């Protein structure tokens, strides 16, 4: 989807659909934005950002900080943040809060200082990189797809190579 200029903007556990053959697909594109067709995109043809005015953010439990801060531009990195929280929930069994002190802490601190990632500091480290507050410091999808421990733990991530 990213290679086609689409930002999902509502990545969360409920939007991962498991088929009978255990293939996982991403669904619910109701909040997605196609930056190639965005009316407010910047002049550069190569940018991967859209104006905040073109964005309708998804579930507040998984939304990236830049969407909440009304940054003038948002990028694919917002999806990386949401994917990081989704993987955190799957690894720790802790549901992401919709508001409150924990919700705020998730958007301002390292994820590993909030949740315990038992027996795997390497996975905790990449999830920290996925969920860092500053979008330009987040890891890329290439980083995620080249992380052997993360791919082993979450086999469905192999399917993200097609997005």
- Indicate the DSSP class of residue 68: H
Between the CA of residue 129 and those of 9, 36, 59, 80, what are the distances in Å?
18, 27, 21, 9
b/e sequence 7-29, b meaning 16+ C-beta within 10 Å: bbbbbbeebbeeeeeeeeebebe
Tell me whether residue 79 is one of the annotated catalytic residues.
no
Instruction: Choose, from 10, 21, 79, 116, the residue flagged as catalytic.
Output: 10
At which residue do the structure tokens 């990632």 appear? 117
Catalytic residues: 10
């Amino acid at each position: 989807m990213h290679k086609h200029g689409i930002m999902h903007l509502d990545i969360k556990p409920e939007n991962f659909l498991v088929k009978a053959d255990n293939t996982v697909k991403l669904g619910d594109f109701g909040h997605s934005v196609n930056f190639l067709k965005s009316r407010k995109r910047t002049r550069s043809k190569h940018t991967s950002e859209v104006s905040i005015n073109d964005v309708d953010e998804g579930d507040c439990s998984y939304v990236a900080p830049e969407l909440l801060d009304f940054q003038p531009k948002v990028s694919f990195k917002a999806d990386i943040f949401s994917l990081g929280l989704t993987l955190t929930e799957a690894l720790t069994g802790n549901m992401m809060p919709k508001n409150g002190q924990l919700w705020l802490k998730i958007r301002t601190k390292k994820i590993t200082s909030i949740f315990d990632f038992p027996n795997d500091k390497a996975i905790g480290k990449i999830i920290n990189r996925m969920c860092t507050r500053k979008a330009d410091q987040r890891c890329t999808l290439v980083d995620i797809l080249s992380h052997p421990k993360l791919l082993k733990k979450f086999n469905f991530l192999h399917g993200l190579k097609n997005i």
